[in-house]
Structures are given as C-alpha cells and as structure tokens.
C-alpha cells in the first residue's frame, strides 16, 4: 500500500500536462520452461516535468528493471509506460541513460564520445563543436577533451557519460546507480556536480540508488521499493529543506526521515 510521508501536506497529483513520466500498473515477469519470476507487480508512479525523482531500495527489488523499461531496453509484461505523452515501445534519444559501469567508447576521445549522438543526428561540425564545448565546460573537462578513457579516473568517465547524455538534449535522463562504483570523496563531488547541472538544465531525472543519504541529498521525491515482487511501498516528499548550499542544516529532520526509511527497508 502506498503511503506518503507528509511535510506538512502531501503533494496532490499534478495536472496531466505537467507530468513527464506516467506509469500505471507496471508488471514484469521472467519465465523459463522451469521457472516463473515476478520481478515487478502493480507499479504505478509519475514524474513531473523537470523533477528529480529517486527510486530507493535494496538489491533485487526491481528498481533497475523499472529504469530499463523506462529506457525501452526491456518490455513490460503488464501496464502502461508513457514518457512525454508517448507510449514507450523501445529505446529513444529522447531518453538518455547513464549506467553504473563506465560505458565510454575506448577508441574515441572525450570530445568524440560526447559528439557521438550528435553525429547520429547529422548535425554540422560547427553545431557539434558548440554543444560539445558547452558540456565539456559544464562537467569541467575542457583540459581533457582529447584524452581517451584509459587516461581518465572513474569520476571523470562518469562526467563524460553524463555530458554525452545531456548533449543529446533528452526529455528525460535515466541514471542507474551511476556513482555506486566511486570512492566516497569522488561520489560526493559527483553528487554536487549532478545537482548543479540539474538546477541549471532543468532536465527531468530518474535516479536509482540504494544509498539513503544520496537519495535525500539529491531528490525532490523518493519512491521506496519492496521486493518479491518489486512494488512501490512508499512515496516520500524529500524536498524537506534539509540542505542549504549543499550543506546539511537540519540534522534532526534528516535523522527522522532516514530512520523512517531504514525502518521501511528493514520491514
């Protein structure tokens, strides 16, 4: 059953024209000759235009499956998935994807990786250069434009992946635990960078994590998931004025909300 942590009043469902992603009664079943596994059951949620929403839950709860269905990389068994008013039937440049693993093309430079999707769009060399230069500056990699993946740190590779996705001007940016493999200091730096980019670009973001602190720092709303089968257990309004200038300023409220989420996940 879906409940809402109120602070002080739960947000009503927005108007249809303000919704970027609308998912209703989503189900996913994997079947073989011997086994049947229900990964998702009756998952319904929405994401507003320009909103930063996180799916939080333990491994195996189906949160990555939700993201792959949104990306069009997997087909649902039941329900409907609508993004920007269109039913999702497969991958699209309108939905950018950033994975946990580093997905750069090793034979291309940083600049060429960011330009890759722009070339597929048949953009002129001048247009590609202008867009690429902009995102190189946004992610702070101007000095590494001619470097190859093997010459970059993990955090730098993820900066390139984010820049490559944003350069295509997607309606939605889907991120599957993109900082999960990074050390704590680099992870924090990347979280700050992503939040700054989101505030500037106003891109709709759906983010997957199992890190409660990360979810509370980044998100406007959080969907907490249960497993076996995967379903949404609770919606949390995470826009709780916990931070100011990226610094935690309301420790008591933070601990209260975190304790509540921990209890949900343990249950």
Residue 259 tokens, joined: 């304790």
Which CATH number belongs to the domain containing residue 73 in this structure?
3.40.50.300
Residue 265 tokens, joined: 């996940």
Beta bridge partners of 235: 4, 223
Cα–Cα distance between 57 and 42 in angstroms, integer? 16
CA 159, 165, 169, 172 torsion: positive or negative? negative
Cα–Cα distance between 154 and 140 in angstroms, integer? 14
Residues of the chain with pLDDT under 50: 1-9
Range of the domain at 131: 3-266
Among candidates 64, 78, 42, which has minimal Cα distance to 233? 42
Predicted pLDDT at 9:
40
- Cis amide linkage into residue 8, ω under 30° from 0: yes
Predicted pLDDT at 3:
44
Instruction: Specify whether the CB–CB gap between 66 and 232 falls below 8 A.
Output: no
Strands 172-176 and 95-98: parallel
* CA torsion angle 161 70 68 61 (round to 10): 120
Predicted pLDDT at 11:
64
Query: Model pTM?
Result: 0.91
3-state secondary structure labels for all residues of 174-204: EEECCCCCCCHHHHHHHHHHHHHHHHHHCCE
Cα–Cα distance between 252 and 257 in angstroms, integer? 9
Number of structural domains the chain divides into: 1
């Amino acid at each position: 059953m879906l409940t809402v942590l109120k602070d002080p009043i739960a947000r009503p469902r927005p108007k249809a024209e303000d919704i970027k992603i609308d998912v209703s009664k989503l189900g996913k079943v994997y079947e073989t000759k011997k086994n049947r596994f229900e990964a998702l059951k009756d998952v319904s949620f929405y994401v507003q235009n320009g909103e930063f929403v996180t799916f939080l839950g333990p491994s195996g709860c189906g949160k990555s499956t939700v993201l792959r269905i949104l990306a069009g990389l997997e087909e649902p068994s039941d329900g409907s998935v609508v993004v920007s008013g269109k039913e999702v039937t497969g991958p699209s440049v309108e939905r950018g994807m950033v994975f946990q693993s580093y997905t750069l093309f090793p034979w291309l430079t940083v600049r060429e990786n960011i330009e890759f999707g722009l070339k597929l769009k048949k953009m002129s060399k001048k247009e590609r250069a202008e867009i690429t230069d902009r995102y190189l500056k946004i992610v702070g990699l101007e000095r590494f434009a001619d470097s190859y993946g093997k010459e970059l740190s993990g955090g730098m590779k993820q900066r390139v992946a984010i820049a490559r996705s944003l350069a295509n001007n997607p309606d939605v940016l889907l991120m599957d635990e993109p900082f999960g493999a990074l050390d704590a200091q680099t992870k924090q730096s990347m979280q700050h960078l992503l939040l700054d980019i989101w505030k500037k670009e106003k891109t709709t973001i759906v983010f997957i994590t199992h890190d409660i602190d990360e979810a509370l720092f980044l998100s406007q709303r959080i969907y907490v998931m249960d497993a076996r089968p995967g379903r949404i257990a609770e919606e949390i309004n995470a826009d709780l004025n916990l931070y100011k200038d990226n610094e935690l300023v309301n420790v008591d409220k933070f601990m209260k909300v975190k304790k509540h989420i921990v209890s949900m996940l343990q249950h």
